[in-house]
Structure 1
Amino acid sequence: MATHAVRLNAVTKTYGKHVHALRGVTVELPRGGFTAVMGPSGSGKSTFLHCAAGLDTPTSGTVHIGDTELSRMNETQLTELRREKAGFVFQAFNLIPSLTVTENVLLPFRLARRRPEHAWLAEVIERVGLGGRTEHRPSQLSGGQQQRVAIARALVTRPEVVFADEPTGALDTQTAAEVLGLLRQVVNSTGQTVVMVTHDPVAASYADRVLFLAEGVLVDEVYAANAQTIAHRMTMLGRARLAGTVGAAAC
């Protein structure tokens, strides 16, 4: 089994003739780690996540989730891979209003026409703190509770990696801290791999490793950094971008 959860090798993504979202990105994300991806607006961080998760196809280069190379797969195979090997948490909770908490969590099994593991379902719901709300519908839940449902839905299929795109962007500061603490706990207690795109240094400080993108290039990284260190790196990156010396931002 591969030691990495996700691996990108020389990945480029070009839209049209002139928009280069990613420029030769090569990186490995280890199993059981929590990686945050940051960068200025337009840096390519969302494209990075979409390519890494098989939601978008690179213009060139290769992407692996575990031992599986995504470029060799057709759209049907990619859909199956996303259901089985990837979980997703987005800023918009993407819950179905007419379904209960349990039904929303079980949606991946319903779509795949598979039977759920009921013991694991119960454990996941307890882990995210929704044990007493399984019959509630999204309209009966707070924003933080709805995001907990989304996290449970992402975990219930036992994916190789959970991809989170600005998961706390719609939450207040205290609720965001609770959700981030939950993601951190999931990594620590179950060995789950999490890859999170965020613009928030506080959110990124929950990660083991923070990658910094600028103009489609990985320019810096830090490990086990606090919010102040991460914010400083972002400030330096912004100054380098304005000065036209992004490549020197990693100093």
Structure 2
Amino acid sequence: MRTGWNGAGDAVRLEAVRKDYGNGVAALDGVSLAFGRGEFTAVMGPSGSGKSTFLHCAAGLDRPSAGTVTLDGQNLGELSEARLTKLRRDRVGFVFQAFNLLPALTVEQNVLLPHQLAGRRPDRGLVDQILRRVGLAERRRHLPGQLSGGQQQRVAIARALITDPAVVFADEPTGALDTRTAAEVLALLRESVQASGQTVIMVTHDPVAASYADRVVFLADGRIAGELPRPTADAVAERMTHLGAWAAVGA
């Protein structure tokens, strides 16, 4: 398990991260983990295992109660809210199950939104490239309501990639999609790792989705419960079935 790290080779590092919500139970309990640049990692665990809290802390959306999170070489605990917001805007991409597209904006306008919020002039050539990459060059003038669910998620991926982020965080990105469409979306995430060197960290409950990753990290009761390199869907499903007992032995 990559609980150690080598500095420049890692896009995200967590060291002894703990997150308490005041109810006497730690959502994260001493998590130390590293994510290499150009690596696709799936994070899995049963309900209540801490997956969402992990993603929020790793992405700088929430601050841990203890421990350190380093993202693209920056210690998030040392950043003001303004600098943290800028780091997320410039160096992090997000893809969610609900797509989170603005319904009154076209595909192209939704993709350009991060540039607009940052006050940057749009790079039309880059937009063209990204839209071709996600297979939506002919749909750039369409509104989200005119697209299928899979097409909307591809718009969300294009929006996440437009700033050339160091890390893309994906939270159940295929949860609302059928099997065939989900495979297309996962292939896009896989391609962003291979072609552009992005680090992708994906929270998922689906063993098939997890099989697209380079490795799977398992959480149980807020702790790391092991990992699986070069995963297959069957191996992931088997590990999830026995995760509770496996985690107890590991502890």
TM-score with structure 2 setting the length: 0.95
- Shift of residue 249 of structure 1? 5.1
Matching residue within 141, 164, 168 for 2:147 = 141
Q: SS in structure 1 opposite 2:242?
A: helix
The aligned counterpart of 1:178 is: 184
Q: Is the Cα–Cα contact under 8 Å of residues 237 and 249 in structure 1 kept in the other structure?
A: no
Residue 100 (structure 2) pairs with residue 99 (structure 1):
no
What is residue 247 of structure 1 aligned with on the other side? 248
Structure 1 runs, 4 residues or longer, greater than 4 Å off: none
**Candidates 225, 230, 242, aligned match of 1:236:** 242
Gaps of 5+ in 1: none
**Alignment counterpart, residue 114 of structure 2, candidates 83, 91, 108:** 108
Counterparts of 1:230 and 1:17, CA distance in 2: 31
Task: Say what the alpha-carbon RMSD is for the aligned residues.
Answer: 1.2
Q: Secondary structure, in 3 states, of the residue corresponding to 2:139?
A: coil
CA distance in 2, matches of 1:28, 1:183: 19
> Which whole-Å deviations, capped at 9, do the CAs of 1:157-186 have from their partners, x for residues lacking one?
011100000000011111111101111111
- Identical aligned pairs, as a percentage? 63
Q: Distance in 1 between matches of 2:60 and 2:14?
A: 11
Q: Deviations over 1:73-103 (max 9, x none)?
A: 1211111111001000000000000000000
**SS state at 2:12 partner:** strand
- For the 8 Å contact 1:100–1:134, the answer to whether it is kept is yes
CA distance in 2, matches of 1:101, 1:17: 43
Equivalent residue letter for 1:248: V
Per the alignment, residue 4 of structure 2 pairs with none
Q: Which runs of 5+ in 2 are unaligned?
A: 1-6
Q: 2:24 maps to which residue?
A: 18
Aligned residues: 245
Counterpart mapping for 1:143-222 below 5 A: 143-222=149-228
Which residue type is aligned with residue 82 of structure 1? Answer: R
1:108-127 mapped onto 2 (5 Å cutoff): 108-127=114-133
Distance across 1 between alignment mates of 2:10 and 2:210: 20
Among residues 38, 41, 49, which one is paired with 2:47 in the alignment?
41
